[in-house]
Amino acid sequence: MWRWITQRWARLLQQLSWITHPITIFVSLQVVWLAITLIWVIWFVTERAEIGALAKRFGQEYFSTEITVAILVVGCILLGVLLVGTILLFVAGQRQSSAARQQRTFVSSVTHELKSPLASLQLAFETMMTHELDPSTRTRIADMIYSDIDRLRRLIDQILVAGRLDRGILSFDDASSAVAMDELINKIVDKLSYMDPDLRARLTIDCPPGLTLRASKMALSLILNNLVENSIKYSPRQSPIKIGFDQLGREVFMYVQDQGIGLDKKDMKRLFKLFRRGESAVKKAIPGTGLGLYIVKSAVRVLGGRVWAESAGSGQGSTFYVSLPIEQK
């Protein structure tokens, strides 16, 4: 009986948790504020005669309608200024709180991302040190060690790049490089094969033969690597992934399409912000740092292009598009 009461009480508190939400409290305070302002205006208008008599007692002989309106307007302006100031303070506080939550989530995600390859490396070294291994097994373990080290290196590079982009100090010195897109995308796919050994079987690449772009190879690698990695990470095994390129005039379009967890409208609004991750990804505990799409958008912006995403909704896949003003060689 006591357990049932406790469960019911906990459920009731959970259902009523919206009452103590900061936005609910803020809106309630603003409603009270506006109600007080309205009451004050009504009181001032209805008590105008008494206010005029009080003004005469203090030497103000003339208390016209214009003075009444002026006092009323000044009072409303002052109350409005206080209201706006309160709203600005609330918005600033919410942003600070959101930034703190995002940073805590980022630290937790990075810790997890670092812990997995480190644990794998430790196990591999212990195996090599405590067992007599045949050459084939030793080679396989060495390949696994190299893969984990490369994973750590890419994670650290991603964190460093995101930090530089956030401070606006990253520039691409190889902006005039001639980049063969089919060669670049195949190298990226080979590097990401550790995430899915059967990646080639479910991947479709639609790239015009001989498409060569004059652009920063580093920037293009950052963009495509993060988009393809996200498609692998957020879509089921064996589901199709398509990478496409097209050129219209002096504008190049790239897209990466998957049949993964998809995006809802709330995710679309904050998708490319630093440390932001979709709610579906967080709920499904999919590993990630919230840096990839921020790096994509920043790199695209440096190249003078634009990036956007389309999705029919949660669970219905997504497509990321990139448009770059890059001339063909």
CA-only gyration radius of the chain, Å: 30
Angle at which helices 135-167 and 292-302 cross, to 10°:
60
Calpha distance 201→14 (Å, rounded): 46
Q: Give the pLDDT band of residue 124 (cuts 50, 70, 90).
A: confident
Q: Give the pLDDT band of residue 59 (cuts 50, 70, 90).
A: low
Residue 203, strand partner residues: 241
Residue 320, strand partner residues: 256, 309
Tell me 328's DSSP state.
Answer: B
CA 176 to the chain's CA centroid:
30
Please state which of the ranges 1-10, 134-143, 196-205, 251-260 shows the lowest mean pLDDT. Answer: 1-10
Rounded to a whole number of angstroms, the distance between the first and last alpha carbons of the chain is 78
Please state which of the ranges 167-176, 181-190, 246-255 shows the lowest mean pLDDT. Answer: 167-176
Summarize pLDDT for 208-225 with one digit per residue, the tens. Answer: 888 888 888 888 888 999
**Cβ pair 260, 235 in contact under 8 A:** yes
Task: Report which secondary-structure segment, H or E, holds 319.
Answer: strand 318-324
**Cβ pair 158, 291 in contact under 8 A:** yes
pLDDT at 63: 54
pLDDT at 228: 92
The answer to whether residue 84 scores a pLDDT higher than 50 is yes
pTM value surpassing 0.95: no
Calpha distance 118→134 (Å, rounded): 24
Calpha distance 46→48 (Å, rounded): 6
Of all residues in the chain, the percent with pLDDT exceeding 90 is 7
The answer to whether residue 153 scores a pLDDT higher than 60 is yes
**Cβ pair 290, 277 in contact under 8 A:** yes
- Of 310, 262, 309, the C-alpha closest to 286 is 262
The answer to whether residue 328 scores a pLDDT higher than 50 is no
Q: Give the pLDDT band of residue 326 (cuts 50, 70, 90).
A: low
pLDDT at 148: 80
Mean pLDDT along residues 14-42: 71
Length of the chain: 329
Summarize pLDDT for 240-283 with one digit per residue, the tens. Answer: 999 999 888 788 899 999 998 888 877 777 788 777 766 666 66
